[in-house]
Amino acid sequence: MNDYELSQTEMIEKHLPSISYQTLAKSLLSIVVSVVLSGCGVTLSPVKRAPVQISPLETSLVPNIQTVLVRFESTLPGKPLAETVWDNVSGAFADAEESEQIGFTQDYSMLIPAVAAGGAVGGAVAGTQSNYTRIVIPFGRIFEGVFQSGLQKVFPNSSACFDNSGELEKLKSAAPKYVVRLKVAEFQVWENPLNHLNLKATVECKVCRAGKINRPEYVYEARNQATNQSIGSIMTTSSGFINEMNKISNEFAAALSENILGNLQKKLGE
C-alpha cells in the first residue's frame, strides 16, 4: 500500500464512529443471551406461570378424636384466604386468577443491563434476579389446602369453614367442641442470592369452646422461616424454576401446618 492509499484510509477511519470495547462486549453479550435463552427452551414472554399444585401433608402425629371446626380467616378484609396471593413487590393482594397459579414475571427492559453489569450470562438464563423479577406465590390457597389435608389425618372428626355463614352452619350441623380460627398474619417472599427463595410467615391460631367463640381459651402463633432455598441453576428452564417454587412453598406450608396441628393435639388432648 502506497502513501496515498494510507492517507485515504486514515481519513476514512477518522470519520467512522468509534466503538468502545465495552459497547461491543455488551452487544455480543446480548446476542449470546438470546441464543442461550432459545437453546434452553425459555420463551421471551415476561409472564411465567403454571397451575399451583397442593401436596397433602405427611404427618406422624397420632389422630385425636376431638371434634374441631377450623375457620380460615381473611388476611385482607373481605377477601377469602384462598384468593390471597403474595409477591416480593407489593406483598399481599387479592386475585382469583393468580391464586390458581404460581410463577414469576420478568422485566426484560432490565435483563440485559443486569447481565452486562454482572458479567455472566447465567443471570439472564436464571431469570429470577430480584431487581427484575416479580415472584408470585398463592400462599393462601397452598396453606389452606395443605392444612386441611393434615387436619383430616390428625383430627378425623373435624370440619372447615371460610366465613361467618359457614361457621354458623357448621356449628349447628357438625356440633364441634372446639372452634379454631387461623389467620395468616404475615407472609414474605424474597430472593437472595440469585435463584434462591426465602420465605417467612406467621399464622395466628385462636382456640375457643364452641359455646364461647368470642372468648379464646388460648392464642398461639406459629412461625416459620426458610432461607436460601435453591430453585435451580443457570441451565434450569422456566418450568423447572416454577416446579421448585411450588415444591418449596408446599414444604413451607407443611411445616407450619405440622406446628399448629401438633400444638392443637397437645392442648386439646389435655
In this structure, are 3 and 56 located in the same domain?
no
Q: What is the pLDDT of residue 122?
A: 35
Q: What is the pLDDT of residue 110?
A: 62
- Cα–Cα dist 178/8, whole Å: 95
In this structure, are 30 and 83 located in the same domain?
no
8 Å CB contact between 110 and 104? no
Cα distances (Å, whole numbers) of residue 122 to 126, 128, 144, 213, 243: 6, 11, 36, 54, 19
Per-residue pLDDT of the chain (270 residues; tens, 9 = 90+): 554 444 554 454 455 444 455 555 455 555 444 444 433 334 456 899 999 999 999 999 999 999 999 999 999 999 999 999 999 999 999 999 999 999 999 876 665 554 454 433 333 333 444 567 899 999 999 999 999 999 999 999 999 999 999 999 999 998 999 999 999 999 999 999 989 999 999 999 999 999 888 889 899 999 999 999 999 988 899 999 999 999 999 999 999 999 999 999 999 875
Cα distances (Å, whole numbers) of residue 98 to 95, 142, 168, 184, 218: 5, 12, 29, 18, 34
In this structure, are 10 and 82 located in the same domain?
no
In this structure, are 196 and 95 located in the same domain?
yes
In this structure, are 118 and 35 located in the same domain?
no
Number of structural domains (the chain) is 2
* 44 domain-assigned: no
